[in-house]
Amino acid sequence: MGPPLMGPPPMGPVPPMGPVPPMGFPPFVESPRNGAGIAALVLGLIGASIAGVPFLFWAGAILGVLAVVFGVVGIGRARNGAATNKTMAIVGTVFGGLACALAVVGLLLTVGVIDKVKKDIDEEERKRDTTASAPPSPSDESGDLDEDRKSADKLALDFGKTASYRDGLKVTVSRPEEVELGKYAAKDGFVAYKVEITVENGTGKDVDLELTQVKARDGDGAGIERTYDFSKGPTFNQGIKGRPHPGKSVTGTYIYLMPEKKAHDRMEISVEPGVITYKEATWTGAVK
C-alpha cells in the first residue's frame, strides 16, 4: 500500500476583517481677506498727498473718504479673524482722515488763488482802461476836432495825433494819402488811400498785437473796403502784427478804396490794439 497522497493543508478559520478606516482630508483654511486694509492704506496715502494742492483738493477728499470706509471695513475683518493686516487698515484710516482735513486747506488755498488772479486781472484792466482820449497839445486847442465826433461819447483824434494808453502804449495814425496801385490791384471808380499806423510799446513788457483790428469809414460813416497790392512788396500791405518788446514800435500799412464821388472827403480810422486788451481809439479828418 503506497503512501497517502498529500493535499493542501487544511486551512484554519479566517479571522474577520475589521472596519476600513476612512481616508482623511486636510482641514479647510480660509485665506485672509486683507484687501480692504490694503486699499485703505493706498487711497489714504494718495489722498493725503494731493488734498492740500490747490484745485486738486476735491480728488484728495474723495480718496480720503474712501480710505476711511475701507479702513473701517479692514479693521472689522481683522477683529473677526478674517484679516491679518489690522495695523495697515488703521494706518490707512488715519491717512484717510488726514486727507479729508487737508482737503479743507486745499479748498481755502484754491479760493485764495482764484481771488488773487481776479484781483490781478481787475488791476490790469484798471491800468489799461482808457478811452484813448489823448488831450491835444496847447497849440492844437483851436477847435480842429470834429464837433459831432466829440458828442459820440468818444474823442476822435486828428490824423497824425497820438493816443496814449495808461500803461504806456501809444498809437499814431497818419493822414490818409492817395496812392497809385498796380493794374491788378486798382479798381475802376475808386481812389486808393494809404494809411500808416504806428504802435509804440512804452509798457514794461511785450505786447501781443496779432489781433489788432483796424476799421475805416468815409465821411458819412459807411465802411471802406481794404485792398492789397502785392506788386509793391509784402510790407506795402502788412498790417499791425507781432509782439514788440518794450521800447520798440511796429508800423503797419493799410490800403483802402474810396468811391471817386467821395474822394478827397473825410475819412475815419478806428484802431483796437490787440483786441480786448485795449479799447478802441478813433482818428478822423480830411484826406490828402
Residue ranges of alpha helices (H) inside 139-202 are 147-150
What's the mean pLDDT in 265-270? Answer: 89
Residue 106, pLDDT > 80, answer yes
Q: Is 42 exposed, middle or buried (0-12, 13-18, 19+ CB in 10 A)?
A: middle
pLDDT at position 73 is 93
Mean pLDDT of the chain: 80
CATH topology (fold) of 148-286: Immunoglobulin-like (2.60.40)
Identify the three-state secondary structure at position 197.
strand
* Residues 56-103 pLDDT 10s: 889 999 999 999 999 999 999 989 988 899 999 999 999 999 999 999
DSSP tag of 218: E
What's the mean pLDDT in 213-222? Answer: 88
Torsion of CA 236, 171, 151, 158, to 10 degrees: -60
pLDDT at position 145 is 35
Question: Residue 154 is placed in which grid cell?
Answer: 468818444
**Which among 195, 206, 196 is positioned nearest to 244, based on CA atoms?**
206
Geometric angle at alpha carbon 109, from 108 and 114, rounded to 5°: 100
- To which residue does cell 509793391 refer? 232
Is the distance from CB of 171 to CB of 132 less than 8 angstroms?
yes
- pTM tops 0.85, yes or no: no
Residue 198, pLDDT > 70, answer yes
Residue 153, pLDDT > 50, answer no
Per the document, the length of the chain is 288
CA distances from 182 to 8, 54, 192, 228, 230 (A): 141, 60, 11, 10, 9
At residue 197, φ and ψ (nearest 5 deg) are: -120, 125
pLDDT at position 233 is 76
**What's the gap between Cα 174 and its chain centre?**
37
Domain(s) labelled CATH 2.60.40.1240 in the chain stretch across 148-286
Residue 37, pLDDT > 70, answer yes
